[in-house]
Amino acid sequence: MGSFSILHWLIVLAIVVLVFGTKKLRNVGSDLGGAIKNFKDAMKEDAKSDESRKVETIDAEVIDKTKH
């Protein structure tokens, strides 16, 4: 009991291929790969835009107007 052996995983893989077919599995794999690639590209663009939006601070002295 516990973990599955390699034979169990091969049987599960064979059943999945029989149910869905190789063409459907290939399409799912390419769609998943494309989604991951788009996500990585979006993260790179976001990092570049964060670098371009650097905040500049202004040092100033506050004067109390009620004391004058």
Question: Does residue 62 lie in a domain region?
Answer: no
pLDDT of residue 3: 79
pLDDT of residue 4: 80
Are 50 and 59 in contact by the 8 Å Cβ rule? The answer is no
Q: What is the DSSP letter of 68?
A: -
Q: Between residues 48 and 68, which one has the greater pLDDT?
A: 48
Range of the domain at 45: 21-52
Residue 40 counted as domain residue: yes
Q: Give the per-residue pLDDT at 49.
A: 73
The pLDDT value recorded for residue 47 is 77
Residue 4 lies in a domain: no
Flag whether 38 is in a domain. Answer: yes
Question: Would you say residue 9 lies in a domain?
Answer: no
* Residue 13 to residue 16: CA distance in whole angstroms: 5
* Higher per-residue confidence, 34 vs 65: 34
When divided into structural domains, the chain yields a total of 1
Q: Could you write out the DSSP letters of every residue in 25-62? A: HHHHHHHHHHHHHHHHHHHHHHHHHHHHT---------
Q: What angle do CA 23, 5, 36 make, to 5 degrees?
A: 40
pLDDT in tens, 17-58: 999 898 898 899 899 999 999 999 998 887 777 666 666 777
